[in-house]
Amino acid sequence: MEIEVSIRKQLRDFELQVDFTAKDEVFALLGASGCGKSMTLKCIAGIEIPDQGYIRLGKRVLFDSEQRICLTPQQRHIGYLFQNYALFPNMTVLGNLQFAARGTFAESRCRIQDNIRRFALQGLEGAYPAALSGGQQQRVAFARILVSEADILLLDEPFSALDSYLKWQLEQELMHVLGEYGGSALFVSHDRGEVYRLCDRAAVINRGHIEAIDSKQALFANPQTLAGALLTGCKNVSAARKIDKEHFSADEWGILLTGTVGQPIPDHLRYVGIRAHFFVRASGPGENTFAADIVEVIEDTFSFLVMWRPSGGDGCSRLLRWEVDKETWRQVNGSKIYLCLPADKIMYMQK
């Protein structure tokens, strides 16, 4: 089912302003905490009411400020997966599912049984939510949503409060469920990894505005904006200006760089970025290649994070972060290092 959202809502610090459509896909809203992404989901579910705009799901209009339509959450048929799953603690698993069932008794019983089987909840019907593991709770929450015959799934940071091992397990279960579900799902997260693994398309939200919407591959290859670059995990960004057709200056790094033929430098270039693992070691000076002054070396789990700056500057330019595997670093440590910023790996951002 297709969902079309175009809403405005004044929040405390900024105005939420989101427009997007999604159809039979997993669509992610990627943004930092407090950027308005959860508020967007709440508006779609009818828990919060936008100031103006419209929300359409399939053929049904859920909200339209001009026609003064605003369905209650009960009428919207939207499945909302809360961060803590919001299972009713006073009811058993079966009770939770029965609470959500609509329609006649026979129909709902059939649907409940189907979903108990689908989510492998047999034997847990009589258990209370507090006695379930995180994964079981998530499955019950999903089953409950599907029993209620929701037309779309909204996932509100379903893993943000979990440790990494449990998170990985739940994520895999979610991937499985989403694959089977097949309908539209909106997924809200601040974690680029989750978004990349679970979604087809993603939108970057910054202070209430959608800055970029694209397929996940395109978005991660070229985030288009500074917020997008940071959210997709780019560790090195610098303010930049275009100098001529082929050259630009990365001011915070204090270096002049050359662009590549295939990727023209935009006229209103404001920032450039390069991911920490894209630096290439070189044997001597060359194009976009600089002798590195190593400032700090941090040992990470499976790599070294080397903080460096191009030598020859005034010594107070912004540090660059180079991520290098442990073996390589042990070999080159101590010798004179030249690092190249490959022109085709540099991301240009106009805002």
Partner 1 sequence: MFTFFAGIGLAYFVVRLKRYQGILDAIITLPMVLPPTVVGFFLLLIFGKHGFIGQLLLLGDIRFVFTWKAAVTAAVIVSLPLMYRTSRGAFEQMDVNLLYAARTLGASEWRIFWRILLPNARQGILAGLVLSFTRALGEFGATIMVAGNLPGITQTMSTAIYAAVQANDDATAFVWVAVVVSFSFLVVILMNYWMARLYGFGRKGNGAGGNRSQHSQTTA
Strands 185-189 and 271-274: unpaired
Closest approach, Cβ 59 to partner 1, in A, equals 19
Q: Is 82 in the site for partner 1 (CB under 8 A)?
A: yes
Distance CA 345, CA 230 (A): 15
- Residue with Cβ nearer partner 1 (47 or 256): 47
Q: Residues 228-267: x/- map of binding to partner 1 (CB under 8 A)?
A: ----------------------------------------
Q: Is 330 in the site for partner 1 (CB under 8 A)?
A: no
- Residue with Cβ nearer partner 1 (83 or 258): 83
Q: Which of 10, 47, 120, 277 binds partner 1 (CB under 8 A)?
A: 47
3-state secondary structure of 335: coil
Q: Is 104 in the site for partner 1 (CB under 8 A)?
A: no
Distance CA 324, CA 334 (A): 15
Q: Is 80 in the site for partner 1 (CB under 8 A)?
A: yes
Q: Which of 61, 162, 218, 291 binds partner 1 (CB under 8 A)?
A: 162
Q: Is 105 in the site for partner 1 (CB under 8 A)?
A: no
Closest approach, Cβ 134 to partner 1, in A, equals 5
Q: Is 169 in the site for partner 1 (CB under 8 A)?
A: no
Distance CA 254, CA 247 (A): 14
Nearest to 349 by CA among 292, 266, 279: 266
Q: Is 335 in the site for partner 1 (CB under 8 A)?
A: no
Closest approach, Cβ 118 to partner 1, in A, equals 18
Contacts of 290 (CB under 8 A, 6+ apart): 255, 310, 311, 312, 338, 339, 340
DSSP letters for 22-44: EESSEEEEEE-TTSSHHHHHHHH
- Residue with Cβ nearer partner 1 (108 or 206): 108
- Residue with Cβ nearer partner 1 (137 or 224): 137
Length of the chain: 351
Closest approach, Cβ 4 to partner 1, in A, equals 19
Closest approach, Cβ 172 to partner 1, in A, equals 17
**Which helix (H) or strand (E) segment is 329 a member of?**
helix 326-332
Distance CA 12, CA 10 (A): 7
Q: Is 55 in the site for partner 1 (CB under 8 A)?
A: no
Q: Is 131 in the site for partner 1 (CB under 8 A)?
A: yes
Q: Is 84 in the site for partner 1 (CB under 8 A)?
A: yes
Closest approach, Cβ 194 to partner 1, in A, equals 16
Residue 285 vs residues 104, 164, 200: alpha-carbon distances, Å: 76, 42, 41
Q: Which of 14, 20, 54, 128 binds partner 1 (CB under 8 A)?
A: 128
DSSP bridge pairs for 215: 201
Instruction: Please identify which residue in the block is written with the tokens 């805002």.
Output: 351
Sheet holding 255-258, edge to edge: 255-258, 247-250, 236-242, 271-274, 347-349
Closest approach, Cβ 81 to partner 1, in A, equals 9
Q: How far is CA 306 from the centre of its chain?
A: 27
Binding segment (CB under 8 A) for partner 1, from list 127-135, 200-208, 275-283, 292-300: 127-135
Nearest to 94 by CA among 121, 76, 119: 121
Q: Which of 145, 202, 203, 272 binds partner 1 (CB under 8 A)?
A: 145
Nearest to 157 by CA among 48, 79, 217, 80: 80
Interacting residues toward partner 1 by CB under 8 A: 42, 45-47, 72-74, 76-80, 82-84, 86-91, 99-100, 102, 127-131, 133-134, 137, 144-145, 148, 150, 161-163, 166
